[in-house]
Amino acid sequence: MPDLWRFCIERLTFQRDLNILHALQIPHTLTKIKPVTIISGVKQYFEQTRSLAFSLLAIFPLVLLYEILIVQLNQQVHLEIRNAAEKFLKDFLGLAGITLTWQLGLLYLAITLIVMIYARNRNQVIVPPLRFWGLLILESLAYAAFFGYGTRFLTKLILSLQAQGVPVYESLSKLHKFMLAIAAGVYEEILFRLILLGSILYIFKKIWQARLWVQAMLASAIAAAVFAIFHYPTLEHVTWDSFMFRLIAGWILGIIYVARGLAVVVYTHALYDILYIMNFL
């Protein structure tokens, strides 16, 4: 009998709750939403937006926008302005005879296609739902804000440091600076995070039986040190404050790359620089 009474009371309570939902005009379907569904959606978002196949697709608009801007804006100045990481990568590809913009574009598309085929063979989702693309921008924007406010107490903001000793930077228009912000996000993250940090992690995985998070922390620090030194034309220009800021900034970006993939770290870096240019940071 107690079980029967308990069953009746539960049914009455459930019906009462339904009546309340109906009175408040709340859809009955909301009662079917479970925390498991939300957790599953979040897991899918993080997994699908972290893949290299998605990242190459997601950052392609930035690459295209930069290449268009650099052609248009460099026609207006006597001295061609380019990002150092971009120049390094393109000079390296130039050794193989890949120098023209259309050749670089075909190479990028070929690499993207190869990665997409590899991802499909591993049953990975190549193109996530459209809402995930917007969430990625919002996530990167949140990281960019943290990146700025979380490290500014250490030294000056990164763009002002990058401009030290380069008076021509201060004379550039906002559009030129916007172009360089995109270049920094794209080419510096491809060079220092995807290529350098990725290579270090691969080597660590082969020769070092440490925990993954330990490998990620150390590899990010090594890549960050190279990233910091790369910003100086010569070692004579290195100062302790600016070096420490760049080291910590590069380390944070490295952790974001390991945890969230190439697309998020590219947009985080680019958005941070853009927010600084617009005086939001």
Number of Cβ atoms within 10 Å of the Cβ of 183: 25
pLDDT at 11: 44
Measured CA to CA, the distance from residue 235 to residue 239 in angstroms comes to 9
CB 112 within 8 A of CB 56: yes
What is the SS3 assignment for 138?
Answer: helix
**Rounded to 5 degrees, what are φ and ψ at 256?**
-60, -40
Q: Any residues with CB less than 8 A from the CB of 169 and at least 6 apart, and which?
A: 162, 163, 177, 180
CB 253 within 8 A of CB 269: yes
pLDDT at 160: 46
Give, for all 281 residues of the chain, the pLDDT tens digit.
444 444 443 444 444 544 544 544 445 444 454 565 777 788 889 988 999 999 999 999 999 999 998 888 877 666 677 788 999 999 999 999 999 989 999 999 999 999 999 998 988 878 888 889 999 999 999 999 887 776 655 545 444 444 444 445 566 778 888 999 999 999 999 999 999 999 999 999 999 888 888 999 999 999 999 999 998 877 667 777 778 888 888 999 999 999 999 999 999 999 998 988 887 76
pTM of the model: 0.81
pLDDT at 169: 58
What are the start-end ranges of the H helices in 74-100?
A: 84-94
CB 243 within 8 A of CB 230: no
Q: Is 46 left (phi over 0), alpha (psi -120 to 50) or beta?
A: alpha
CB 181 within 8 A of CB 79: no
As a whole number of Å, the CA-based R_g of the chain is 24
